[in-house]
Chains A and B, each alone.
Chain A
Amino acid sequence: MQKFLILLVLLGTPSLSLAREPTFERDIQPILTRYGCNAGACHGKARGQNGFSLSLLAYDPDADFAAITEEARGRRLFPANPEFSLLLRKASGEVPHGGGKKLPKDDPNYATLKKWIASGTPRTPTTAAKLVGISVLPRERIMTFGTTVPLQITATYSDGSSEDVTRMSQFQSNDSTYAAVDAFGKIVAGPLPGEAAVMARFQNTFAVCNILIPLPGTVDAKYYDNLPRKNFIDGHVWNKLKQLAITPSDPCPDATFHRRAYLDVIGRLPTPTETIAFLKDTDPKKRDTLIDRLLERPEYGDFWANKWADLLRPNPYHAGIKATFNYDAWIRESFRKNKPYDQFVREILTAQGSSFRNGAVVFYRNRRQPDELTTMASQLFLGIRLDCAKCHHHPFEVYSQDDFYSFAAFFARLGHTGQGISAPISGGEEIFYVNPTGTVKHPLTDKVMSPRTLLGKDIVIPPEDDPRVVLAKWVTAPENPTFAKVIANRVWADLMGRGIVDPVDDLRATNPPTNGPLLDELAADFRKGGCNMKSLIRRIATSHAYGLNSTPRDRNVGDIRNYSRHYRQRLRAEVLLDAVTDITGVNEKFEAMSPGSRAMESWTVRFDSKFLDSFGRPDPNQDPPCERSSETTVVQALHLMNSPNIQRKITDNNGNAAILAKSDKTPAAIVREIYLLVYCREPIAEETAKCVARFEKKNANRREATEDLMWALLNTPEFAFND
């Protein structure tokens, strides 16, 4: 039977119209959802559309039934002659419809609606079988370029029955470059090797079909067996490459690895002395020992705190300068001490006390309401985006409004006293404590919500306990399904150029990882190591995959998802500015910081810096200030070329260019030094020869030649990118 059905679908025959008598909840509401009638932009909007209002994505059957059968004096339906019903005439575009022609008369769903009206608009009995879920066939498929696969969606009900609901389902591909899907569930593979997850949605349930499109041609399986494996990461990466029939790039040269490791682990360039020593070192394990050494460097704490500051740091115009400063100091201290990550999160979630004494408590000064805290905490620490569920059930998510406000209930008893927000100064001290009472209500039902972990059970918390302690325990517990994954994925994205899940903080069934087993084991390994951030970084940076070249070979040119080569990243604004400072030997001046401070140490994004703005530090006025742009722009090019500040640094009388020019070094030695400073590698003979010629030209000015060479290197991509 199933074979027959699939055959039917393959032949392109539409599913037959419904044989049994249609009822409202089971058959009609799904049609309203399928055609977008109850979508947020149409009749599902809070006040409806042109007087016809449906509940968003069918969450309220009673109201929808009334809207269709009773409101507008029942004129929406005309049982005596169903085709004259406004519902059908509008939907089929027979009379003008703002939403256009949605449901053609020859569509089987049109027939279902007609039949339902003719049979007297029956409701689905409350005793009727409930929808349990849907399944998709096929669940996964390996495809070749340009081929098609039809999906078949089957709904199962609590009485064990099942039904083909393909024509009532909606479809969406997470990456239509690789595989697109049409409104009827037909998948079309694109012209590139890669993967896509195609989601089918029916009522409140969804199912995902994973599509894999390998590169044509075969690679001997032994080839993958023979690839080097330094730790578990490599095995998972090679497994994935094997499925796609793509092959990895060569390992990168030592100098590239050295510069990359410095930039990734401590956010600064190696000095010429460090580079020379590493290149000379003949120890076969020198790459691993380099990572160990870097992890012990003092810059480590500032660099990783700077990344976390993007996520946590409030706008000082809102939270106040002293609070922001304290918070920053607390974050920095946590990374300097290599505080276990679960402890770091617990300390934030359960913070109490004064905004002047406990930096972590500023988390609650900045986000003050339970709903704001819910959105922030779930996204940051669990990689779960609950923003949608605040107002409605999200169609691609499993969480409902109930889940949202039950989560918010953990923050219901947080109290504060002292001076609150009085922007733009907000200078006062505020104390946070736990109240014995306090509630969060569901905005629609007004029901007082019990604290409940996501998809968990209601929890009774005695008045003397802090609900946030219970929350923090659940968030950081070894059983939590996403806590370790989201941090492992963040760090992986930092070092490897792209998250296994992308965006890094959006973990859900409909946004699958590019390499699930890899993410699982990274997370488990992180757990096993006691949530030690340095161990996680070490694990990634000592894998063979981390040390690959960025240069593609013939079978991985288009790979930008599966780590068959290293992905180039432009240096972050602060890293880049500190690099310019190190190369030129001339310090940058920052407001409200001591002389000689580095951009990486800045505790606020409030001070002026054209450089940092050009290169995309977060905008302090944007809320939340989390997403940074890593794009290159013409403004960046102009700034590196022409900004008076960089010109000043290159030409300063006490700067490195002046010192080199004044020294008794030969031109070749000056060239070598500048290459080591900027590119962190030795120049090759041809490069030295060309650059030396500039010094030996007629009328050449040694100082100017030095400065111009430094300027030139600073204005090439080999400087601006981590290769």
Chain B
Amino acid sequence: MNTNCLGVTRRDCLQLGLTTLLGGGLATAMRASSGTNKIAPKAKSCILIWMDGGPTHYETFDPKPDAPSEYRGDFKAIPTKTNGMMVSEHMKGLAAISDKLAIVRSIRHDQGNHGAGNHYMTTGAPPRIPVGCGAFVSFHPSMGSVTAAEVGAPAGLPAYFSFPSMTRSGGPNFLGAKYAPFVVEENPDQHDFRVRDVALPSGLTAGRFADRSDVRVEVDRFRRFLDKTSGDPAIALDEHYLQAAELMKSKEAQAAFNIGREPEKVRQAYTRTAFGQRALLARRLVEAGVPFITLNDGGWDHHTKLFDALKTRLPSWDQVVSALISDLDQRGLLDTTLVIALGEFGRTPQINKDGGRDHWANAMSVLFAGGGTPGGQVIGATDKKGFAAIERVVSPENFASTIYTKLGIDPNKLLYAPNGRPSHIVSDPMPIKELMG
């Protein structure tokens, strides 16, 4: 334990001046030799539809039509194309393409607040210490950041996008700011949509910008402390300038962002809403080869008046998600694009006094489509009243390992934090086999 790398103690590293190497070459070399199994990717990209707040499993993918009314709620269950798969009456679009979908009804964990639930589901790791409900915490790199680091970026584009904001635990943690999501907060449904500051300001020629950039390199003599344990924040800024410069130069990026090139019919199919057009933008980025895109869709924390809210929200959400899956399918992209939709947890069985449901991590439903996922299946089940996952119970670790394995990333691989501490990408590398095909 007193060696952090290749049998060299940290102190030796300091004396030998090896620390800069450890940040780059040597660490990379070690990573390559850490016994990783090569996995053939089934999916090239993943679109994560994050339903922030924790969507109810009852009113989406795990209706309980036979439960007493205080559990069942106001909505009816409807059959789908698939025998035995019932979904909420407000999921008509998805019901019609259920042959493309796999629903997992039996993921459960033990983190009942937003900060912790988000962390567990978006990183595959439970928070290391108890965290508060409103917390934005990061103890482990997010799936998007790991994918960015392991799969890499297509030419001229970032590897990991997040619209319109990062999820609470969507950051890179020890992987470093280079793998932070590229956040596009602007609304692509607006006619003047333009990704802010990615283009040169008007009146500035590319030649002059190049000149300026040369001067910048010349004048920059600020000393960087390359040893990662020194925590020099200037290093992160450097990484961001590199990414920024790449992004600006990229023709691919500018083309992918140009959502105005889509026929109006296609734009309508996704609904002319911010969420709908973000889903469409995600598809354009998938076409450009971006491996991970998060749609951070807020407002699913229905402690009160759940039915009033979802009556209007669900049909629209259903239209966007079914349009996205169908569109990917028609373009031949669904086989290589994994679409998943979930939140932090499910919601409580008994409807509360305010007509809502509260946080409930004992059961939740997750939607999978594409990326080689066999469609038309329901995996696992909750009990008759939806209290808890009881059949084929799987964990957030299994969930994250499924996504990694599909993307060709070995979830059992060891990553090294800057202090030399190794950690597996996911502590339990077993994917959910029914989803693997």
Q: A557-B227, A560-B230, A715-B216 are in contact. Are A217 and B111 (CB under 8 A)?
A: no
Binds A, one of B232-240, B304-312, B400-408: B232-240
Q: Is the beta-carbon distance between A632 and B240 smaller than 8 angstroms?
A: yes
Q: Is the beta-carbon distance between B215 and A558 smaller than 8 angstroms?
A: no
Contact with B along A620-661 (1 / 0, CB 8 A): 000000010011111111110111100100010000000000
Q: Which B16-69 residues have a C-beta within 8 angstroms of A?
A: 19
Q: Is the beta-carbon distance between A45 and B112 smaller than 8 angstroms?
A: yes
Q: Is the beta-carbon distance between A644 and B201 smaller than 8 angstroms?
A: yes
- Once the chains are docked, how many angstroms separate the CA of A145 from the CA of B243? 37
Return chain B residues, CB-CB under 8 Å to A647: 201, 203-204
Contact with B along A139-152 (1 / 0, CB 8 A): 00000111100000
Partner pick for A694 among B111, B215, B225, B248, CB 8 A cutoff? B215
Q: Is the beta-carbon distance between B419 and A642 smaller than 8 angstroms?
A: no
- Once the chains are docked, how many angstroms separate the CA of A567 from the CA of B225? 11
Return chain A residues, CB-CB under 8 Å to B221: 687, 718
Q: Is the beta-carbon distance between A552 and B230 smaller than 8 angstroms?
A: yes
Q: Is the beta-carbon distance between B362 and A568 smaller than 8 angstroms?
A: no
Q: A146-B1, A639-B197, A716-B220 are in contact. Are A711 and B212 (CB under 8 A)?
A: yes
- Once the chains are docked, how many angstroms separate the CA of A570 from the CA of B234? 9
Partner pick for B2 among A191, A552, A568, A637, CB 8 A cutoff? A191
Q: Is the beta-carbon distance between B244 and A717 smaller than 8 angstroms?
A: no
Return chain A residues, CB-CB under 8 Å to B211: 708
Q: Is the beta-carbon distance between B11 and A691 smaller than 8 angstroms?
A: no
Partner pick for A717 among B109, B222, B230, B389, CB 8 A cutoff? B222
Return chain B residues, CB-CB under 8 Å to A215: 11
Of chain B, the residue at the smallest CB distance from A36 is B110
Return chain A residues, CB-CB under 8 Å to B227: 552, 557-558
- Once the chains are docked, how many angstroms separate the CA of A634 from the CA of B241? 7
Of chain A, the residue at the smallest CB distance from B216 is A712
Q: Tell me which of A387, A560, A635 has the highest count of chain B C-beta atoms within 10 A of its own C-beta.
A: A635
Q: Is the beta-carbon distance between A637 and B419 smaller than 8 angstroms?
A: no
Q: Is the beta-carbon distance between A41 and B361 smaller than 8 angstroms?
A: yes
Q: Is the beta-carbon distance between B231 and A560 smaller than 8 angstroms?
A: yes
Q: How many residues of A contact B (CB 8 A)?
A: 75
Q: Is the beta-carbon distance between A634 and B1 smaller than 8 angstroms?
A: no
Q: A647-B201, A647-B203 are in contact. Are A98 and B388 (CB under 8 A)?
A: yes
Q: Is the beta-carbon distance between A633 and B240 smaller than 8 angstroms?
A: yes
Q: Is the beta-carbon distance between B2 and A720 smaller than 8 angstroms?
A: no
Q: Which B108-139 residues have a C-beta within 8 angstroms of A?
A: 108-112, 128-130, 132, 136
Q: Which B169-221 residues have a C-beta within 8 angstroms of A?
A: 177, 180, 182-183, 196-204, 208, 211-212, 215-216, 218-221
Q: Does B14 contact A (CB under 8 A)?
A: yes
Partner pick for A568 among B233, B247, B348, CB 8 A cutoff? B233
- Once the chains are docked, how many angstroms separate the CA of A484 from the CA of B98? 62
Partner pick for B247 among A638, A713, A717, CB 8 A cutoff? A638
Q: Which A34-71 residues have a C-beta within 8 angstroms of B?
A: 39-42, 45, 47, 49-50
- Once the chains are docked, how many angstroms separate the CA of A590 from the CA of B421? 47
Q: Does A543 contact B (CB under 8 A)?
A: no
Q: Measured between C-beta atoms, what is the minimum distance from B48 to chain A in Å?
A: 20
Q: Is the beta-carbon distance between A721 and B219 smaller than 8 angstroms?
A: no
Q: Is the beta-carbon distance between A637 and B241 smaller than 8 angstroms?
A: yes
Q: A188-B1, A708-B212 are in contact. Are A638 and B229 (CB under 8 A)?
A: no
Q: Is the beta-carbon distance between B419 and A49 smaller than 8 angstroms?
A: no
Q: A717-B222, A721-B233 are in contact. Are A47 and B350 (CB under 8 A)?
A: yes
Partner pick for A716 among B180, B200, B219, CB 8 A cutoff? B219
Q: Is the beta-carbon distance between A690 and B218 smaller than 8 angstroms?
A: yes
Q: Measured between C-beta atoms, what is the minimum distance from A208 to chain B in Å?
A: 15
Q: Which B92-115 residues have a C-beta within 8 angstroms of A?
A: 108-112
Q: Does B223 contact A (CB under 8 A)?
A: yes
Of chain A, the residue at the smallest CB distance from B128 is A176
Of chain B, the residue at the smallest CB distance from A721 is B234
Return chain A residues, CB-CB under 8 Å to B389: 98
Q: Tell me which of A176, A627, A711 has the highest count of chain B C-beta atoms within 10 A of its own C-beta.
A: A711
Return chain B residues, CB-CB under 8 Å to A709: 215, 219
Q: Does B326 contact A (CB under 8 A)?
A: no
Q: Does B372 contact A (CB under 8 A)?
A: no
Q: Is the beta-carbon distance between B419 and A191 smaller than 8 angstroms?
A: yes
Q: Does B9 contact A (CB under 8 A)?
A: yes
Return chain B residues, CB-CB under 8 Å to A156: none
Return chain A residues, CB-CB under 8 Å to B199: 642
Return chain B residues, CB-CB under 8 Å to A715: 216, 241
Q: Does B387 contact A (CB under 8 A)?
A: yes
Q: Measured between C-beta atoms, what is the minimum distance from B7 to chain A in Å?
A: 12
Return chain A residues, CB-CB under 8 Å to B229: 192, 557-558, 560
Partner pick for B197 among A560, A643, A723, CB 8 A cutoff? A643
Return chain A residues, CB-CB under 8 Å to B9: 145, 191
Q: Does B4 contact A (CB under 8 A)?
A: yes
Q: Is the beta-carbon distance between B180 and A633 smaller than 8 angstroms?
A: yes
Q: Is the beta-carbon distance between B248 and A177 smaller than 8 angstroms?
A: no
Q: Is the beta-carbon distance between A557 and B225 smaller than 8 angstroms?
A: yes
Q: Does B91 contact A (CB under 8 A)?
A: no
Q: A146-B2, A557-B230, A647-B204 are in contact. Are A717 and B238 (CB under 8 A)?
A: yes
Return chain B residues, CB-CB under 8 Å to A98: 108, 362, 388-390, 393
Q: Is the beta-carbon distance between A610 and B233 smaller than 8 angstroms?
A: no
Q: Is the beta-carbon distance between A704 and B222 smaller than 8 angstroms?
A: no
- Once the chains are docked, how many angstroms separate the CA of A712 from the CA of B212? 6
Q: Does B420 contact A (CB under 8 A)?
A: yes
Q: Measured between C-beta atoms, what is the minimum distance from B170 to chain A in Å?
A: 13
Q: Tell me which of A216, A550, A567, A715 has the highest count of chain B C-beta atoms within 10 A of its own C-beta.
A: A715
Q: Measured between C-beta atoms, what is the minimum distance from A643 to chain B in Å?
A: 5
- Once the chains are docked, how many angstroms separate the CA of A716 from the CA of B237? 9
Contact with A along B375-407 (1 / 0, CB 8 A): 000000000000111100100000000000000
Q: Is the beta-carbon distance between A217 and B216 smaller than 8 angstroms?
A: no
Return chain A residues, CB-CB under 8 Å to B303: none
Q: Is the beta-carbon distance between B419 and A192 smaller than 8 angstroms?
A: yes
Q: Is the beta-carbon distance between A192 and B219 smaller than 8 angstroms?
A: no
- Once the chains are docked, how many angstroms separate the CA of A634 from the CA of B176? 12
Q: Is the beta-carbon distance between A634 and B243 smaller than 8 angstroms?
A: yes
Q: Does A551 contact B (CB under 8 A)?
A: yes
Q: Is the beta-carbon distance between B419 and A190 smaller than 8 angstroms?
A: yes
Q: Tell me which of B197, B221, B348, B388 has the highest count of chain A C-beta atoms within 10 A of its own C-beta.
A: B197
- Once the chains are docked, how many angstroms separate the CA of A723 from the CA of B387? 55
Q: What are 15 pairs between A and B in contact, CB < 8 Å?
A: A188-B1, A190-B1, A557-B225, A560-B229, A560-B231, A627-B136, A633-B180, A634-B182, A634-B244, A638-B197, A639-B197, A647-B203, A687-B221, A712-B218, A717-B237
Q: Which 6 A-B pairs give the minimum distances between C-beta atoms?
A: A146-B1, A41-B110, A558-B229, A146-B2, A638-B197, A647-B201
